[in-house]
Amino acid sequence: MKRFALWAPLAIFALLFAVVASGLFRPADKVVRSAMVGKPLPDFALPAMVPGKPGLTSASFKSGQPRLLNVFASWCVPCIAEAPHLMRLKTMGIPIDAIAIRDTTPAIAGFLRRNGDPYARIGSDTASRVQLALGSSGVPETFVVDGRGIVVKQIIGDIREDNIGEIVQAVREAR
Amino acid sequence: MSGRSSLALAGSAVVAALLFSAAPANAQPVTPPAHYANVQLADPAKEASAKALMETLRCLVCQGQSIADSDAEMAADMRALVRERIARGETPASVRDWLVSRYGDYVTYDPPLSGLTWPLWLAPIALLAIGGWIARSSFRRRTR
């Protein structure tokens, strides 16, 4: 018993040290994932963002074909970085719709002119209402939605070169 | 000497110009926040329950702040959402459940007891019990 009491503080210290060190070497995952993956899209109807392109409703995701839903904004810097990758996904035949967060028509028109326009429809979410309903916590984010309107995948942050494979695969599996 | 310092001055002016002309790293939405983001509800009772709820909701883009405390744009959007729903007659519990169904338990500072969160609730009780046991045995030793 006495022996145990002698070593216990050191043992507790070692345990604490191990906990802290593991946190240092493998920092916690601070990404906030949507709890909507695996669930149907929330009902929404957003007005058109730019002239000549329709707005976005949740009903248009029940067409039988999987689509990407990109959450973006003209004021978002990483959205510029992912634009060429979205264009590439479009040329691969994957339809992409978008929700523009707290944005204006001229700003979005300018963004599309500068960075390309991969979108079939763009809805205007002026108060981030649909973004919150989707469980999205920032821009850009991309959701893969199957043909019945069920969210099957969420990509947080800008789409990079090495995300393209998993997105194409998720779309193929959702068919 | 003065020539060199004026050169340095010109150099720092160039650096400053570059810094301020570069695209802002912390980009902000171009539209103003929703009305109820920073405006209280007219009904004081409803505002009080909305405020109490906001203090238990986590700002998703700032670690360790509630949406009541945070100045982030996303927190403003969430405050507007909470106030509008409370104004419409929803209960704070149903607003919180709605957000939890979107973001998981992470969004609330008042997590429900579940398979994942039980250590949070039981650890303080266990620590208190251990403390009591240590105190009891050391007091007993002293009286002897």
Q: Tell me: the pLDDT tens digits for A98-144?
A: 999 999 999 999 999 999 999 999 999 999 999 999 999 999 999 99
Query: How far is residue B21's CA from residue B10's CA, in Å, rounded to a whole number?
Result: 16
More confident residue, A62 or A26: A62
Could you tell me the residue range of the domain that residue B81 belongs to?
A: 2-112
What pLDDT sits at residue B23? 43
Average pLDDT, chain B: 83
CB contact, 8 Å: B99 with chain A? yes
Contact A130, A103 (CB under 8 A): no
Please tell me whether residues B85 and B18 are part of one structural domain: yes
CB contact, 8 Å: B67 with chain A? no
Q: Is the pLDDT of residue B24 over 70?
A: no
Contacts of A83 (CB under 8 A, 6+ apart): A115, A116, A118
This prediction's pTM: 0.80
CB contact, 8 Å: B25 with chain A? yes
How close B28 comes to chain A (CA, Å)?
6
Helix (H) or strand (E) holding A141: strand A141-145
> Cβ contacts (< 8 Å) between A77 and chain B: which residues?
23-25, 27
How close A133 comes to chain B (CA, Å)?
6
Please tell me whether residues B81 and B106 are part of one structural domain: yes
Contact A131, A102 (CB under 8 A): no
Query: How far is residue B99's CA from residue B107's CA, in Å, rounded to a whole number?
Result: 7
User: Is B77 close to A34, i.e. CB distance below 8 A?
Assistant: no
Q: Shortest CB distance from B27 goes to which of A35, A77, A128?
A: A77
How close B67 comes to chain A (CA, Å)?
13
Please tell me whether residues B78 and B135 are part of one structural domain: no
Q: Is the pLDDT of residue B64 over 90?
A: no
More confident residue, B64 or B68: B68
Question: Mind listing the pLDDT tens digit for each residue in B96-117?
Answer: 999 999 999 889 998 778 887 8
Contact A57, A171 (CB under 8 A): no
Please tell me whether residues B66 and B29 are part of one structural domain: yes
CB contact, 8 Å: B102 with chain A? yes
pLDDT tier for residue B27 given thresholds of 50, 70 and 90: confident
Q: How many domains does chain B have?
A: 2
CA proximity to A111, closest of A160, A69, A78: A78
CB contact, 8 Å: B90 with chain A? no
User: Is A35 close to B103, i.e. CB distance below 8 A?
Assistant: yes
What pLDDT sits at residue B99? 96
Please tell me whether residues B9 and B50 are part of one structural domain: yes
Q: Is the pLDDT of residue B57 over 50?
A: yes
Please tell me whether residues B101 and B137 are part of one structural domain: no
Please tell me whether residues B35 and B54 are part of one structural domain: yes
Query: How far is residue B13's CA from residue B17's CA, in Å, rounded to a whole number?
Result: 6
Please tell me whether residues B75 and B7 are part of one structural domain: yes
Query: How far is residue B105's CA from residue B99's CA, in Å, rounded to a whole number?
Result: 9
CB contact, 8 Å: B138 with chain A? no
User: Is B27 close to A138, i.e. CB distance below 8 A?
Assistant: no
Structural domains in chain A? Answer: 45-174 (3.40.30.10)
Looking at residue B41, which CATH number applies to its domain? Answer: 1.10.8.640
> Cβ contacts (< 8 Å) between A135 and chain B: which residues?
102-103
Mean pLDDT within A54-58: 96
Please tell me whether residues B80 and B140 are part of one structural domain: no
Q: Is the pLDDT of residue B52 over 80?
A: yes
Please tell me whether residues B47 and B80 are part of one structural domain: yes
What pLDDT sits at residue B144? 53
- List, edge to edge, every strand of the sheet that includes A151-156: A121-125, A96-101, A67-72, A141-145, A151-156
Please tell me whether residues B18 and B77 are part of one structural domain: yes
Please list the residues that pair with A125 across neighbouring strands. A101
Q: Is the pLDDT of residue A89 over 80?
A: yes
Contact B65, A137 (CB under 8 A): no
Contact A87, A116 (CB under 8 A): yes
Please tell me whether residues B73 and B102 are part of one structural domain: yes
Query: How far is residue B112's CA from residue B116's CA, in Å, rounded to a whole number?
Result: 10
> Cβ contacts (< 8 Å) between A137 and chain B: which residues?
60-61, 74, 103
Q: Could you give the residue ranges of the DSSP H alpha helices within chain B?
A: 2-21, 44-54, 73-87, 92-103, 118-143
Q: Shortest CB distance from A35 goes to which of B25, B74, B104?
A: B104
Q: Is the pLDDT of residue B3 over 60?
A: no
